[in-house]
Amino acid sequence: MTSQISEPYKIGDGYKAMLQFQSTNVNENQQILNDQNSKNKLTLSDKLKNWSIQGFENHNIRDELNRIMSTSEIFKSNELDITKEANRVLVLKQVLEITRGIFEKGLIQITDLRDDPSKILAFIDIVSQFDDPSLMTKLIVNNFLFGAAVFNLGTDRHHKLLPDIQSGRLLGCFAMTELGHGSNVRSLETTATYDPKTDEFIIQTPYRTSTKWWIGNAAHAQIASVFARLIMDDGKDHEVHCFLVPIRKSNGFDLLPGVKIGDVGAKFGLHGVDNGWIQFDKVRIPSSNLLDRFGSVENGVYSSPIKNPSRRFANILAQMITGRITISFGSTRTLKSGIIIATRYACKRLQFGPTSTSPEIPILSYPTHQLAIMPMIASTYAFDAIKIYLGKRFQERTDEAEIHVLASGLKAITSQFTTVSLVELRKLCGGHGYAGYSRLGKILSSIDVGRTFEGDNTLLLQQVAKDLLTQFKKEYSGNKFTGTLKYLGKNTSLLLSGMNPITTMRSDDTHLLSFQFLLDCMEFRSSKLLIQSAQTVSKNYKKTKESFTAWNQSLEILIHLAKAHTETIILQKFIEKVQIEKDLELSSILKKLCQLYGLYIIREDFEFFRNSNYLKKGKAKAIIKLIGQLCSDLSQQAMVLVKGFGNEEYMINSALGMEEGDLYENICKQVGGPFTKDNYIQSKL
């Protein structure tokens, strides 16, 4: 769909009071180049856009979302100038507009988590571009956290609620996190005690630290999916299960008896999300409100298809994997927004020239700028490649363990990279990047929490490392590495045999740019770290005789291992996508991006490669030189590459990032008017 590009933002009052000037023209040659790019390179941008959404195109969903969000007035409000409460009401209206326009019409169902996840990924890909990330967060909370809990953890009697949930007629919240426990879900303190006399559960907040905390949708939800300890009347604690607990009357405002809810207070960002705290005081619910796929109570007796409590708990949490996948997709799309803004600004912003009288040049012409932005662009396309693979695996569901490890690692990598990159992108836009009209501050303040919710990144990387060590143990007890871990079997065997993995001292461009060299480097690093991690944990266990302490003392190398493995898989899948691409123009540019990504990741971990004696000094210098050359080369097509991200132009909403128009004209449209009397000490007037 080609959307009509409407006025991207509300024009500030000050613009009318300013002197009016003609638009500033860039130099003639630059204008000719821009014209040529717009005519000759548009097809490449379209190809890149189509490539990046393979497997989750679903154009009917994308088109309808774009129609709703580009035409409805409630998506055009400037929430910078409204109160927190008004912002929350605005976002609620936006949520209802989308749930009724998309879900109620049947374009997407919550059951597509199982039936067709590509629809949900397409949905996230569009909504995550919106100016206020509060919208996507609130939609995910209602439909893909609360709704997913009902679908994945409940049974047929609970699934009857799904149509009302997804259409917004029944708003819910996902009450897992507590004041005293976030990451350690297994130690949650809220209790659900079974009363055999009434066949009910009594939901209770026994301690202050048991208070449900950071609960999104807390102001608007009528019902909560509450994670609590299931305790039978004999006192037996069957650990954490999920319960449906009504919290408000049908009017959506009045609280039910025994329920207390409040606002958690000011936040960094996401001001349109009603995060709150919830406490329960002897709140009774029917036993049928237990989401009983993995544990049920019938005739006063608890039973579960999974007898081992640890395995049962793992299965309950595994059903929440959708949240991590949506963060990976949403973070990458948000990263694209930031890069588009900074790149377009860098192409239009002119500073300095060869002499004091020479024409000034775009700041993207400077190597320092290229070295900062171009690896981000390359990394973004690498994330697209792994997203395509993850989306496909999520759709097939043939190896849940592989999906869990990959989704956990990718969520940690993408959310961290996005947040750190946005800080740098703000700096690259100078003072204008700090202004509200850049949009970068709003994006950064809202996306940063992605490193925490749906699993703290450090803990997710530990999960990846733990799985790798488990597979490593199996490999040498007869069971072989499978799926994306196959490469580890080959390389760990090589390293354990004492063979030197270095087969050449070459440092020529052909060798360093070859996919084989890039893969060899990455796979060597992961395999070496896997062996070292196993040895480190074993050594620490022999010293301490405590597995918990031994693991904690090994965390530095374990986190390194998890990052290295995830980055290896990203590069693997990027290379595979490039190698099967038949369009020569597309494959040529993707190949350069892939080469830059691989070399960039290697350079980021030069310490490991040098300490492992894998890269000699001359080879490291050659890599640094090649990175600079690739950045310079690719920067000539920077505008095409960010256009290829496929972001909807009407949702860029940044004075610095508009594709059309004069940069300074766009900025001036955002300024305020003359200072009012409210800016002054009244007694002085």
What is the arithmetic mean of pLDDT over 222-238? 97
For residues 200 and 286, is the Cβ–Cβ distance under 8 A? Answer: yes
Q: Output the pLDDT for position 672.
A: 84
| pLDDT tens-digit map of 95-146 | 999 999 999 999 999 999 999 999 999 999 999 999 899 999 999 999 999 9
- Residue 75, class by beta-carbon neighbours within 10 Å (0-12 exposed, 13-18 middle, 19+ buried)? buried
Residue 572: is its pLDDT beyond 50? yes
| Mean pLDDT of the residues in the chain | 90
Residue 2: is its pLDDT beyond 50? no
Min mean pLDDT across 29-38, 191-200, 323-332, 587-596 is at 29-38
What is the arithmetic mean of pLDDT over 649-669? 94
pLDDT level of residue 11 (50, 70, 90 thresholds): low
CA distance 453 to 444: 15
- Residue 660, class by beta-carbon neighbours within 10 Å (0-12 exposed, 13-18 middle, 19+ buried)? exposed
Q: Was 216 annotated as part of a binding site?
A: yes
What is the arithmetic mean of pLDDT over 315-324? 82
Q: Was 177 annotated as part of a binding site?
A: yes
CA distance 504 to 395: 41
Tell me which range, 32-36, 57-61, 355-359, is most confidently predicted by mean pLDDT.
57-61
3-state SS class at 178: strand
Q: Output the pLDDT for position 484.
A: 58
Half-sphere exposure of 539 (CA within 13 A, CB side): 8
Sign (positive/negative) of CA torsion 539, 540, 544, 550? negative
Going by their DSSP bridges, the two strands 276-280 and 259-263 should be labelled as antiparallel
What is the arithmetic mean of pLDDT over 527-550? 92
Q: What DSSP letter does each residue of 254-299 carry, written as one string?
A: SBPTTEEEEE----SS-TTS--EEEEESSEEEEGGGB--SS-EEET
pLDDT level of residue 82 (50, 70, 90 thresholds): confident
pLDDT level of residue 13 (50, 70, 90 thresholds): low
Length of the chain: 685
Residue 356: is its pLDDT beyond 80? yes
DSSP annotation of 27 reads P
What is the arithmetic mean of pLDDT over 412-440? 96
| pTM of the entire predicted model | 0.90
Q: Output the pLDDT for position 454.
A: 84
pLDDT level of residue 3 (50, 70, 90 thresholds): very low
CA distance 330 to 404: 18
Q: Output the pLDDT for position 8.
A: 42
Residue 488: is its pLDDT beyond 80? no
DSSP annotation of 90 reads H
What is the arithmetic mean of pLDDT over 29-47? 60
Residue 361: is its pLDDT beyond 60? yes
Edge to edge, what strands does the sheet with 276-280 contain?
212-215, 276-280, 259-263
| pLDDT tens-digit map of 131-140 | 899 999 999 9
Tracing tokens 């060869």 back to the chain, one arrives at 354
Q: Output the pLDDT for position 501.
A: 47
Residue 25: is its pLDDT beyond 70? no
| pLDDT tens-digit map of 152-189 | 999 999 999 999 999 999 999 999 999 999 989 999 99
Tracing tokens 């000094």 back to the chain, one arrives at 617
Min mean pLDDT across 3-7, 11-15, 73-77, 89-93 is at 3-7
3-state SS class at 499: coil
| pLDDT tens-digit map of 381-411 | 999 999 999 988 888 877 777 888 899 999 9
For residues 194 and 231, is the Cβ–Cβ distance under 8 A? Answer: yes
Calculate the alpha carbon distances from 401 to 321, 413, 533, 630 in Å.
11, 18, 21, 37
Higher pLDDT: 506 or 488? It is 506
Q: Output the pLDDT for position 628.
A: 97
What is the arithmetic mean of pLDDT over 3-21? 57
CA distance 121 to 53: 9
CA distance 58 to 107: 10
Q: Output the pLDDT for position 31.
A: 52
Higher pLDDT: 14 or 425? It is 425
Catalytic positions: 454
